[in-house]
Structure 1
Amino acid sequence: MTSDLHAAVREWLAHDPDPGAAAELAGCADSELAERFAAPLTFGTAGLRGPLRAGPNGMNLAVVLRTTWAVATVLRRRGLDADHVVVGYDARHRSAEFGRACAEVFAAQGFPVILMFAPVPTPAVAFTVRRTGAAAGVQITASHNPASDNGYKVYFPGGLQIIPPVDAEIEAAIATAPPADQIPRSPVAVSGADQVHAYVERAAGVRRATGSVRVALTAMHGVGGEYALDALALAGIDDVHVVAAQFAPDPDFPTVAFPNPEEPGATDALLTLAAEVDADIAIALDPDADRCAVGVPTAQGWRMLSGDETGWLLGDYLLSTGEAATSVVASTVVSSRMLASIAAAHGARHVETLTGFKWLARADQGLDATLVYAYEEAIGHCVDPEAVRDKDGISAAVLACDLVAALRADGRSVPDALDGLARRHGVHTTTAVTRRLESPSAAAEVMTRLRAEPPARLAGFSVDVTDLQPRTDALVFSGGDDTASVRVVVRPSGTEPKLKCYLEVRCADELTEARERAALVQSTLVDDVRALL
């Protein structure tokens, strides 16, 4: 261990309020200590997320205390020190401890605090910030990350995720924060039960149709199970069968390799249950219940819908039951383009944003119309923006069940609805190609090469390139004709050394022929993109 690293570790331990930190760091090899102390955690999607471990590059009590002090400092600078803040937490390891510590720092800084009475879904915090006019909200969660992680998500007024330059302001304030053991803390009483009840009632209220629906549900070992059952029951949907082994919160997520409904195998138990009970729909929530995946029965058996497919269905349903002329729907640059076509057909406005709900939630800013729906392909759906300006798995689950009931009343199924959308807007297929690299710099080198030498053709089509810099580091390749088109978005991951490519094919023809052609074009496109990287 170098003298500088030794000094950094010694200084950290001198002020770390966690009594277990010294033993933990004493057991680390020099290489691991160097990694933990190389740099602090940085703000990513609306906050911090990282492994539970001692040191500045981990999620731990000291980092939570100093980060909360920094958030409070930024709020005061912005003149929001007279308002209250909302603090919630999920059921991960140490979440309750971190949540209470966060609340106590805000209280010591003079902010009235609503500290949630129990582990709650992330959208319940976003809802409460918006409903109560809070200055900010913090949810302790790592969403669908592995069990070894935790995180710190920040909302500002309106229940909106923070965006630049607020994240940079908070990071700068963290750098000037006092040592963790010198940050004042004041006791805080738990509260918020009435706010969470209001959230559940609001989620139930997104229902439009009537009729029973048989549901298979998994909470993926997270906090959403009981809240989802309550919301569904209030919406008149009480024939719900749960994956018992995954229903109670368990921070170790013992039955899944990764607690993410998108991961292969994660929804196997759910689809087995759905088939056993002859369900009408299968619902998978991620551990903090802000994302919702949907499974449906087909002639070939049960399958999970992609995030795009669910987005098409919910977007079309909401526009068909609301005031489309004054409505905005939104999706991200890496999501399917079908929602834009659906919106045009309804006479509504579609907005394409950068990736993430911090941008989707603001899609109607400056427009003379109101956001009614937003989604991203990674199974995030905002179906009631008036109440929750973020993705919300529980209200999305209620609306998805409602859609099934409405379709059945019309003599149709979800596959029928997807067929109908394909006939009206063309067959759209989506997939992804990922290339892992040895370092972020290697990913940057590939992006530089693609900018300098973009492909002229992909899957047999001439393509144009759109560079999204400086808004974001991404390239869009698109081309086609009246009967078929291709679109590829390439961007580096924000958290890992890899490139992510989002592929979409659209074919317009008789349904069977269009699907066959789309499959062939997509296969060629995948090969071309892999060769390109």
Structure 2
Amino acid sequence: MTTYRRAAERWLAQDPDPVTRQELRAVLDAGDDAALADRFGAKLEFGTAGLRGELGAGPNRMNRVTVMRAAAGLAACLRRYATDPPGAPVVVGYDARHGSERFALDTAAVMTGAGLTVRLMPRPLPTPVLAYAVRHLGADAGVMVTASHNPPRDNGYKVYWADGAQIVPPLDEEISAAIDAVGPVDGLPLGEDWTVLGDDIVESYLRSLSRLPLGEAREIAVAYTPLHGVGRDVLLRAFAWAGFPAPAVVAEQAEPDPDFPTVAFPNPEEPGAMDLALTLGVSAGADLVIANDPDADRCAVGVRVGVDGPEGPRMLTGDEVGGLLAEYVLRHTSGADRLVVTTIVSSSLLGKIAQAYGVRFARSLTGFKWIMKAESPGDRLVFGYEEALGYSVGGDDGLPVHDKDGIGAALVVTAMAAEARREGRTLLTLLDDQARRHGLHATAQLSIRLEDLSLVGGLLARLRDDRPASLGGRTVEAVDDLSEGIDGLPPTEGLRLCLAGGARVIVRPSGTEPKLKCYLEVVVPVEDRVADARAAASAALEALRAELAAVLSPA
């Protein structure tokens, strides 16, 4: 019997799930050694993003055994760190993906069996509601079962600490080590006396959004899609709570559906994902088109082009929305202690906006967990964003949610657009005004997908050792190795190439897929017409993208 077959038999002996037991038994009976190696030759690694992977049997998949081990490891860490062990409160939430509710119930059972106090969300709800609940309920930790915008076959396990933000090193390593120390899950003590929260937790979250800078303008038409996720009901309640007209909702994508039948990939950034919402926006005469990803922590925004919309709607980039939200928040808040934060791969525009408003600006590593850690004593974080459609918006009393919040962001974007509409302007004219003040900051991405995760490091090393002298017709003036730590940030894998004329390229490995992600930015002064600057920026980005793709070609 091979090592993998022995491991599979041991797995079968402890697996409480008849579906994955049947799956694994079929693999064993078929003698499919390749499938066994795929499931048992590696394991899902617990990191700052928790766990995320394909559903199925074995340690390299998301399943009940993997989740119960994660819950037991987290419980062991909590008993060391909790403010009041052994009854440390933990809030557990879940989305509507395949297996999410079962994984949440298993987490509650394992943690209760470990002597912790568990509060379970009442139904599938957005991730920002869970993040809010951790702080609101004074919990020591939170668990959200979600794979966000991953494909239908995936699920995940995201961990929050007492500050309501996702965990950062070295805590992830401690939890991972504790998970590795967990024995067979059929030997874990299981409890059943957890508390199921009521709808008052959602109402409390909605009340917290009233702290956002929502202004007084309310005349606005919005088309909305939750992309088959859990955002719809909470967003509609939030709009009603704030006094905005109810958005028109894409009927085909309104209900939670873990198969995401109308999209190839349930991510609003992916080609085609927004087609139904954009079509509805045109037919409904909407000023805005808004989408949440399936767990509603991200927010995508489209705007009508022209007064009568003859050209149809246009999607804004995450950096464009980030720049607009930053100025809106800073116009509607006060105080020299205000702090705005974005990640190292996002546009450099936010730094110029902060300087113009006389507030502090900070950069963080990629990921909202790092944005939330950028606050220093004396700072008041009022806005943070990442280019991947993640925004955390606050008011004069800070942030309601210490994570990206697609519901709160949707409200503030709507308020901003309503205010502009009342003044006879649109978000597009606000973008043009911003470009005139600060220069046109245009960004784009390039992904280099590889056959295997092991190839990513080699390609990055090749770029590190053989740095190009120019890209896109621009001289490479400096190369910063992010693994050495730059700008006071912790070391991380990646390179930053600073180009002539204020352009910039950052190359880093994806945290979840076998690919390199490249973030491009060019800055073009607006000398006359903004449209001319946009055309020049578009051409410059295309030249950068083409030459960088050739440089990074794995062939």
TM-score range, shorter chain: over 0.9
TM-fit CA distance, 1:519: 2.2
- 2: distance between equivalents of 1:532 and 1:323? 46
Matched, 1:121 2:126: yes
Matched, 1:422 2:435: yes
Deviation per CA, 1:498-528: give whole Å up to 9, x if none.
1111101101132233223222222221122
TM-fit CA distance, 1:204: 4.4
In structure 2, what is the equivalent of residue 51 of structure 1?
54
In structure 2, what is the equivalent of residue 167 of structure 1?
172
Q: 1:465 aligns with which of 463, 479, 487?
A: 479
Q: Which amino acid is the alignment partner of residue 19 of structure 1?
A: P
Q: Is the 8 A contact 1:213 1:239 kept in 2?
A: no
- 2: distance between equivalents of 1:499 and 1:46? 18
In structure 2, what is the equivalent of residue 111 of structure 1?
116
Q: 1:355 aligns with which of 353, 361, 366?
A: 366
Deviation per CA, 1:465-513: give whole Å up to 9, x if none.
1111141011111132xxx421000111122221111101101132233
TM-fit CA distance, 1:180: 1.1
Q: Is the 8 A contact 2:367 2:386 kept in 1?
A: yes
TM-fit CA distance, 1:324: 5.0
Matched, 1:67 2:70: yes
Matched, 1:233 2:240: yes
Q: 1:490 aligns with which of 507, 519, 544?
A: 507
Q: TM-score, normalised by structure 1?
A: 0.96
Matched, 1:390 2:403: yes
Deviation per CA, 1:65-112: give whole Å up to 9, x if none.
111010010111224434311011111111111111111211111211
In structure 1, what is the equivalent of residue 42 of structure 2?
39
TM-fit CA distance, 1:205: 4.1
TM-fit CA distance, 1:442: 2.3
In structure 1, what is the equivalent of residue 200 of structure 2?
194
Structure 1, unaligned runs of 5 or more: none
In structure 2, what is the equivalent of residue 23 of structure 1?
22
Q: 2:388 aligns with which of 378, 382, 385?
A: 378
TM-fit CA distance, 1:18: 1.3
In structure 2, what is the equivalent of residue 336 of structure 1?
347
In structure 1, what is the equivalent of residue 488 of structure 2?
none
TM-fit CA distance, 1:209: 2.9
Q: Percent identity?
A: 48
- 2: distance between equivalents of 1:210 and 1:509? 30
TM-fit CA distance, 1:367: 4.2
More divergent stretch after superposition (180-189 vs 331-340): 180-189
- 2: distance between equivalents of 1:446 and 1:66? 34
Structure 2, unaligned runs of 5 or more: 485-490
Q: Is the 8 A contact 1:106 1:113 kept in 2?
A: yes
Q: Which amino acid is the alignment partner of residue 63 of structure 1?
A: T
Q: Is the 8 A contact 1:205 1:235 kept in 2?
A: no
Q: Is the 8 A contact 1:281 1:296 kept in 2?
A: yes
In structure 2, what is the equivalent of residue 94 of structure 1?
99
Matched, 1:215 2:235: no
Aligned-residue RMSD, C-alpha: 1.4
Q: 1:77 aligns with which of 75, 80, 85?
A: 80
Q: Is the 8 A contact 1:324 1:346 kept in 2?
A: no
Deviation per CA, 1:155-206: give whole Å up to 9, x if none.
0111110111111111111111121111111112411421221112222442
Deviation per CA, 1:287-316: give whole Å up to 9, x if none.
100000011001332011111111011111
TM-fit CA distance, 1:46: 2.5
TM-fit CA distance, 1:344: 0.8
Matched, 1:516 2:527: no
Q: Which amino acid is the alignment partner of residue 20 of structure 1?
A: V
Q: Which amino acid is the alignment partner of residue 467 of structure 1?
A: D
Matched, 1:269 2:276: yes
Q: Tell me which stretches of 4 or more aligned residues in structure 1 moved more than 3 Å.
A: none
Q: Is the 8 A contact 2:218 2:245 kept in 1?
A: no
1:256 partner SS: coil
2:436 partner SS: helix
- 1: distance between equivalents of 2:227 and 2:416? 23
Matched, 1:479 2:499: yes
1:144 partner SS: coil
2:483 partner SS: coil
